[in-house]
Amino acid sequence: RLSLVGTPKRNIQLSNIVEEVLFNGNSSLAESNRTNTPRRSRKINSTYDEDFICDEPKTPKRQKTSTSTPSSKSSAMTPTQKMKLIRSGAISAAIESRDNPLKRRKSDFEVARERLHVSAVPQSLPCREQEFDNIYTFLEGKLQDQCGGCMYVSGVPGTGKTATVTGVIRALKRDAELDIVPEFDYIEINGMRLTEPRQAYVQIYKQLTGKTVSWEHAHALLEKRFTTPGPRRQTTILLVDELDILCNRRQDVVYSLLDWPTKSTARLVVVTIANTMDLPERMLMSKVTSRLGLTRLTFQPYSHKQLQEIVTARLSGSEAFKGDAVQLVARKVAAVSGDARRALDICRRATEIAEETTKDKTVSMMHVQKALNEMIATLKVQAIKKCSKLEKLFLQAVAAEVARTGIEETTFLGVYTQLESIAAFMGVTVPVLGRALQICSKLGAERLLICEHSRTDIFMKILLNVSSDDIYFALQLKNN
């Protein structure tokens, strides 16, 4: 048949890209592991096209006939047609799946590692009950009242902001199914995932309807949706992650996102997440701050007890870790940042180290200490130690010149004079000027020095990028 004879190019497409045409939106939904990346499939597709064209050029006439036959309509599409389907949301993106996952009994370490992975968000978040309660009450009240509002959630990275908010949304979804709270729509955008602040409109519209349109159009349609009354409209909860990325100079996107909830017709609840505590006062215009409101919540960094609880909750049932090992990790991390991700990462690394070194079945303090040393490493001292002899002398000269003048900024000429005297003292031949400049540029490339202006002459300004204590320590010299 003609469709079988038709361009093999199409067949290659089909064999490589798993795709499924969705009838009426959700009747045959794809598997759960599919992600929304329509761009990607398009890109892969086009590369295959090009590859194939290079291999075996086809006459255009033949292609035309094959596409025009109705029998091969579903399989053969021009790129434009395909793009149209992607934009209208009729095709969902899929990635190729591997044959079948490995099935074998996992060791204790492996189970622990899996549980300790940052992406494995637990069902309930330990130590964030109060914040959970706070957000839940706020959102539940908004849903019951059927009015709009804003909330600002802040806190340093890794304190469980996004996990808590999505956990609240999950709880609310479940409650909506049980008919305790009204039904609602949930939309989520992340400032970091947008190439430009205005793409937020496109994303929001896409999550509402599944179609991809230009941002102007999306903005107009959203404006229409939120400013005209819709009697059967549900409340929409919009989660805006990384709010500070959306702030450009005009701040029009942030303004519209926060202005819609003030319309009585919109029924929009916006939850914004950012790191900075005083972002509204620092970066936003006063009219935007006024709309953001005062419902704010700050996530404090985890204390060492809380970190310990988090790790033990994840490891529940497994005997892979010793109690004091967990405590050491928790204390070290809580002293610096209170970042849960970091604690989990260190624990994972400790399991890896333990797995490859010991026959023992537990992770002890030693392994944790090793992992900590790896993570909080002082690389600069190592780098200085590994320098060549002349480079060491040069660094020493820079430190001496800084000590002599008392100013951090030195010129190459002064350093070279110091170098000459040090070299004479050590009994080394003094390198010629060109050689010394070469050494200097090498150290600058390593970022041990900062050569501020890259003119390579004797008036070049040089700054130390390490503290002089480090140099003395690494070269085993006495200070002063």
Residues 185-204 that bind other proteins (CB under 8 A): 198
CB 388 within 8 A of CB 475: no
The smaller minimum CB distance to other proteins, of residues 387 and 390, is found at: 387
* 178 touching other proteins, by CB under 8 A: yes
Q: Which of 117, 385, 467, 477 binds other proteins (CB under 8 A)?
A: 467
Cα–Cα distance for residue pair 325/341, rounded to 1 Å: 17
Q: How far is CA 136 from CA 274, 386, 464, in A?
A: 19, 55, 51
Of the candidates 27, 17, 31, the residue with the CA atom closest to the CA atom of residue 90 = 27
Contacts with other proteins, 150-169, as mask; x by CB under 8 A:
----x-x----------x--
Q: Is 291 in the site for other proteins (CB under 8 A)?
A: yes
Please choose, out of 16-24, 45-53, 296-304, 453-461, the segment that lies near other proteins by the rule CB under 8 A: 296-304
Q: Which of residues 400-419 bind other proteins (CB under 8 A)?
A: 403, 406, 408
Question: Which region, left, alpha or beta, applies to residue 15 given φ > 0 means left and ψ of -120 to 50 means alpha?
Answer: alpha
**If you ran DSSP here, which 8-state letter would residue 262 be given?**
G
- Contacting other proteins (CB under 8 A), which of 78, 97, 137, 405? 137
Is residue 286 part of the contact set for other proteins (CB under 8 A)?
Answer: yes
What Å distances lie between residue 398 and 178, 230, 402, CA to CA?
A: 71, 72, 6
Residue 15 beta carbon to other proteins: minimum distance, rounded to whole angstroms: 39
Q: Which of residues 217-246 bind other proteins (CB under 8 A)?
A: 219-220, 223-224, 227-229, 231
Q: Which amino acid is at 414?
A: G
- Annotate each residue in 18-57 with x if it binds other proteins (CB under 8 A) or - if it does not, as one string: ----------------------------------------
| Token duo for residue 135 | 């957000």
The C-alpha torsion from 314 through 320 and 323 to 329, rounded to 10°, is -70
Whichever of 368 and 390 has its CB closer to other proteins, that residue is 368
Q: Please give the Cα distance from 422 to 402 (Å, whole number).
A: 14
Applying the rule CB under 8 A, the residues between 325 and 354 that interact with other proteins are 334-338
Residue 252 sits in the site that holds other proteins (CB under 8 A): yes
* Residues 247 and 240: beta-carbon distance below 8 Å: no
Q: Which is nearer to other proteins, 213 or 430 (CB)?
A: 213
CB 264 within 8 A of CB 233: no
Query: What's the CA dihedral at 438, 441, 442, 446 to 10 degrees?
Result: 170
Number of residues in the chain: 480
Binding to other proteins in span 99-128, by CB under 8 A: 123-126, 128
| Residues in 358-377 at the binding interface with other proteins, rule: CB under 8 A | 376-377
Give yes or no for residue 147 binding other proteins (CB under 8 A). yes
Total residues interacting with other proteins, rule: CB under 8 A: 87
Under rule CB under 8 A, residue 282 binds other proteins? yes
126 half-sphere exposure, CB direction, 13 A CA radius: 15
Per CB under 8 A, the list member of 109, 132, 394, 416 interacting with other proteins is 132
